[in-house]
């Protein structure tokens, strides 16, 4: 399941850790550096703001309880500035209170971890957030996709193959959208789950396979020998745009 994560170099992504407790700051730094992320540290919100302008990190791990400016204040400040409005934030807190969680997410944190947390869990959350933000940043989201016999209108949810309307469920359509908007790129099941099913519970990687099968049945000429939506064994699926064009 994690084959893609190992193959894809994650290096180059820069993460700012804002935490006043040196032990936790070092722990977070060490574990992210192990995953080849570039890590920078700030012990308070003021320093974080200064570093942000210069370093332009891809994600912030932000402690809620900081001396001076609190994590929530910093979070709010970041969301108000256009240049950091979409900057992914993973919030850390010592309090397990539901209100903190809600307030943190309302103020725009992307995810939330309660101390004490396992470093593995922290790294997994960071990866998931970065993956999501990468996909959202994928350019070329035109309203209408048209290649060869395949025509998709993303605004009206209409799909046609060779001029014939195709009926898809909403999930099948969303799955097709993600595949088409990331052409020729292998997407693993976790990425597809993240993107199409979001935070929904009771879905498993198996759900992806079932929907892929239905989608193939709906749009492929021969769903037993798919040409457009390809299986990449042990990894996931890939939309072959060249095959659609020829
Ligand atoms: Ca703290």
Structural domain count of the chain: 2
pTM: 0.55
- Please check whether residue 143 lies inside any domain of the structure: no
**Domain end: 113, 135, 157, which one?**
135
- Distance between Cα 65 and ligand 1 center (Å): 4
CATH number of the domain enclosing 220: 1.10.10.10
**pLDDT confidence of residue 2:** 42
CATH number of the domain enclosing 40: 3.40.50.2300
- Distance between Cα 75 and ligand 1 center (Å): 15
Strands in 236-239's sheet, in edge-to-edge order, are 186-188, 236-239, 229-232
Q: What angle do CA 227, 142, 213 make, to 5 degrees?
A: 30
- Distance between Cα 21 and ligand 1 center (Å): 6
- Please check whether residue 54 lies inside any domain of the structure: yes
- Please check whether residue 108 lies inside any domain of the structure: yes
- Please check whether residue 65 lies inside any domain of the structure: yes
Query: Block means of pLDDT (10 residues each) for the chain, length 246 residues?
Result: 44 90 97 95 96 93 92 88 88 71 69 89 93 70 84 91 93 94 90 84 86 96 95 91 86
Sign of the C-alpha dihedral computed for residues 159, 200, 32 and 64 taken in this order: positive
Give the integer Cα–Cα distance in Å for 211 and 217: 10
- Distance between Cα 94 and ligand 1 center (Å): 8
Residues 38 and 109 in one domain: yes
Residues 9 and 125 in one domain: yes
**What domain range is 202 assigned to?**
166-245
């Amino acid at each position: 399941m994690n084959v893609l994560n190992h193959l894809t170099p994650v290096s180059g992504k820069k993460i700012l850790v804002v935490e006043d407790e040196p032990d936790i700051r070092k722990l977070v730094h060490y574990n992210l550096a192990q995953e080849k992320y570039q890590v920078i540290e700030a012990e308070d919100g003021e320093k974080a703001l200064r570093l942000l302008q210069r370093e332009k990190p891809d994600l912030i791990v932000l402690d809620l309880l900081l001396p001076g400016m609190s994590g929530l204040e910093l979070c709010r400040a970041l969301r108000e500035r256009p240049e950091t409005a979409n900057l992914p934030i993973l919030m850390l807190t010592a309090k397990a209170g539901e209100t903190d969680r809600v307030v943190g997410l309302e103020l725009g944190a992307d995810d939330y971890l309660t101390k004490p947390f396992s470093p593995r869990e922290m790294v997994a959350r960071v990866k998931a957030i970065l993956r999501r933000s990468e996909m959202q940043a994928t350019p070329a989201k035109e309203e209408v996709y048209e290649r060869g016999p395949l025509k998709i209108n993303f605004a009206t949810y209409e799909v046609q193959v060779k001029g014939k309307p195709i009926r898809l469920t909403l999930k099948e359509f969303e799955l097709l959208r993600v595949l088409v908007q990331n052409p020729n790129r292998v997407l693993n099941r976790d990425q597809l789950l993240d993107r199409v099913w979001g935070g929904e519970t009771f879905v498993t990687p198996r759900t992806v396979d079932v929907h892929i099968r239905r989608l193939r049945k709906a749009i492929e000429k021969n769903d037993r020998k798919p040409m457009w939506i390809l299986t990449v064994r042990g990894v996931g699926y890939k939309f072959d745009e060249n095959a659609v064009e020829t």
